[in-house]
Structure 1
Amino acid sequence: MKNPNKDLERWLVRSGMSRKELARRVKSAAQTWGQPHITPDATTVRRWLAGDQPRPPVPEILADVLSAHFGYRVTTYDLGLGEGPAAERSLIYSSSFAVTVEAVTDLGRADVDRRNFLAAAPFAAVAAVGPSRDWLLNTLDQQPETGPRVRLEDVTAVRNMFGEFQKMDVLQGGGSGRLILAEYMNQHVYPLLRRTHTEEVRRALCEAAAEQTYLLGWMAYDNGEHGTAQRYLIQSLRLAEESTNAALGAHVLAGMADQATLLGNPEEGRRLAQAGRAGLGNGNSPACLADLWALEARALAKLGDKTAAAHAVTQSETAFSRVRPDMEPEWATFIDPAYLHGEHANTFRDIDDPANAAEHARQSIHHARRQRRARRGAMSQAALAVSHLQRRDLEAAHSAGLRTLSLSRRVRSSRCVEAVQDLQRRMQPYGTHRLVADFNERARELVAAA
């Protein structure tokens, strides 16, 4: 016996629509979806309320119809019609601005609700091919739905929050505060995208939303939730395209490149970094260009191309020498000596150049200590420790490893934990040496908690 769908019934009552009116709106929306064969009537709606499960894409169309009616996102989950395809939908770089808004809103709601399908969402190695290509090629001019007009003051309020959330990530790690940011986006930012705007306001709003959606992806990435991170980054890239800000789109591709290389796809990481540089062109963010070269260097090092990796590091340093902080966007503030020296240290570590790795690691540690950036300090201490191991200096590696542990305990970052685990693996050739045993014992609690 079927169970009546009380959730759908509650939403229908709240809407004030009759069954016939809901059926009419679903039929009209189905035309927009390119599904003219979907022609429900009042009897069809009655069966849905009685517990019949409509076939896809009807649940998603129902969600979009009610979202448009209420002025905020209603999901298939809210309507008692299952989780819906949000994990897959958010991997798609849609040509439709309206579909993009619904995809990123679904993703944000699922993230805050901590739904199982999203927690288990895998990283898709080839998912970035289409988005990076389309970002380079597409010029879109679609308009959002009608509704109360958004003002520049609304966008300014969104921008004012960005710096605070970015500071939280830099100082405390991605695992601290991400769900607070996701809830803020769900309640205050994504609903604005569904309203009407002047062209100036629309571009500014898409830019602000792209910045913060990127930050959500970066925080998820730093917390080891790579499937969720990838989905946020793809939708951020689409919003960046809508804003017509080339530097911001290139910045998002840098994040995607970093993730691809970290997860064992350095060829894809290299390609994404190159796409970012091509799209940036002669853009006005030398910091972003420096980052893209640094991440290309990381990918080249993983691919074993030592000469090209070292050249990319030089290109990154050249680009950074042109940076004027007061001329850079706020999202680029983290691209500084602490960050870049840390990335270069990892590049030289991976091409087995311990002298250069140690020099860059020490520079990064110096700047990170002055800024009280424990995450960056921890990862650069780990790179320094590896450079000592490459020169067979276990005692120095042990000391740097202990500093890595101390700093890692101050933040919530899976990357710090992974750096500790990498050190443990690299110490294995020393067998049961007392320093190895001591490091493993001290690391036990941190690794177990992760």
Structure 2
Amino acid sequence: MSYDNGEHGTAQRYLIQSLRLAEESRNPALGAHVLAGMADQATLLGHPDEGRRLAQAGRAGLSRTPESAACLADLWALEGRALAKLGDKRAATNAVAASEQAYSTVQLDNEAEWARFIDPAYLNGEHAQTFQDIGDSAQSEKYARVSIDHARAQRRARRGAMSQAALAVSHLQRRDLEAAHAAGLRTLSLSGQVKSSRTVEAVQNLQRQMVPFGRHALVADFNDRARDLLAA
């Protein structure tokens, strides 16, 4: 909750304490899941090298237990996010493929309750971000649309907003401002339904991506509509 609210110092303390408790309770799968959260946070805060290392540590931890395929898929996805930020396109693409392979073996009855959120809405949204960061707009759009469809069916506004933003950026990378504006408005609508620093950051990133389009009327309209959300 602290992480999603942008309180990263507090979130980090809880994550470290969670990792210690997982170790003391001899639950390596849960420990790997906590390391996934720490990897995600490190990459988000601009430390993809650390994010990659933490994701790899999580995978190493899973080797000591009957494997959680969902957690493994998450760790590969987050390693892909870090690799994309590091500019390693081939390794990032391979990490996405490994994540998909791991998820194809998931048996929900064998997964812990905390692993249930690791699903197509979440994973495809993360993959969309990975391909966005390596400049593959076609792949980013493909994964974003799958995530959006699943998030809509589950009425998950936060995930839907983030994936709509990824879709908008994929349009901008192909210079399709009209399609990006439409996806951007859907991002704003969904973002208004939740309180999340992640959705706010997605909107801010979308604004930055629109800067090359200058004073175009659609850019001005999006920024005007985003003002209330960002002020709040």
The answer, yes or no, to whether TM exceeds 0.5 is: yes
Q: Which amino acid aligns with 2:192?
A: R
Say whether the 8 Å CA contact 1:274–1:292 is kept in structure 2: yes
Displacement of 1:243 in angstroms is 1.0
Distance, in Å, in 1 between the alignment partners of 2:212 and 2:132 is 18
Equivalent residue number for residue 101 of structure 1? none
Equivalent residue number for residue 5 of structure 2? 223
Instruction: List per-residue Cα deviations over 1:250-277 (Å, max 9, x = no partner).
Output: 0000000000000000000000000000
Equivalent residue number for residue 308 of structure 1? 91
Q: Which amino acid aligns with 1:403?
A: R
Say whether the 8 Å CA contact 1:246–1:283 is kept in structure 2: no
Equivalent residue number for residue 112 of structure 2? 329
Q: Percent identity of the aligned residues?
A: 78
Equivalent residue number for residue 221 of structure 2? 438
Instruction: List per-residue Cα deviations over 1:4-61 (Å, max 9, x = no partner).
Output: xxxxxxxxxxxxxxxxxxxxxxxxxxxxxxxxxxxxxxxxxxxxxxxxxxxxxxxxxx
Q: Say yes or no: does 1:289 pair with 2:76.
A: no
Please say which structure displays the higher CA radius of gyration. 1
Q: Which amino acid aligns with 2:139?
A: N
Equivalent residue number for residue 61 of structure 2? 279
Q: Which amino acid aligns with 2:26?
A: T
Displacement of 1:283 in angstroms is 3.0
Equivalent residue number for residue 266 of structure 1? 48
Structure 1 gap ranges (5+): 1-218
Q: Which amino acid aligns with 1:399?
A: A
Q: Which amino acid aligns with 1:421?
A: Q
Displacement of 1:284 in angstroms is 2.6
1:233 corresponds to which of 8, 11, 15:
15
Equivalent residue number for residue 193 of structure 2? 410
Displacement of 1:228 in angstroms is 0.3
1:342 corresponds to which of 125, 129, 135:
125
Equivalent residue number for residue 390 of structure 1? 173
SS at match of 1:222: coil
Q: Which amino acid aligns with 1:333?
A: R
SS at match of 1:220: coil
Equivalent residue number for residue 257 of structure 1? 39
Pairing 1:13-412 to 2, within 5 Å after superposition: 219-281=1-63, 283-412=66-195
Question: What's the TM-score once normalised by structure 1's chain length?
Answer: 0.51
Displacement of 1:326 in angstroms is 1.2
Structure 2 gap ranges (5+): none
Say whether the 8 Å CA contact 1:233–1:256 is kept in structure 2: yes
Equivalent residue number for residue 211 of structure 2? 428
Question: What's the TM-score once normalised by structure 2's chain length?
Answer: 0.99
SS at match of 1:334: coil
Say whether the 8 Å CA contact 1:297–1:313 is kept in structure 2: yes
Distance, in Å, in 1 between the alignment partners of 2:95 and 2:205 is 25
Q: Which amino acid aligns with 1:238?
A: R
Displacement of 1:318 in angstroms is 0.3
Displacement of 1:402 in angstroms is 0.2
Distance, in Å, in 2 between the alignment partners of 1:411 and 1:258 is 20
Of the two structures, which has the highest relative contact order with CA contacts closer than 8 Å and spacing of 6 or more?
Answer: 2
Distance, in Å, in 1 between the alignment partners of 2:17 and 2:206 is 35
Root-mean-square deviation (Å): 0.6
Distance, in Å, in 2 between the alignment partners of 1:243 and 1:360 is 37
Distance, in Å, in 2 between the alignment partners of 1:423 and 1:226 is 22
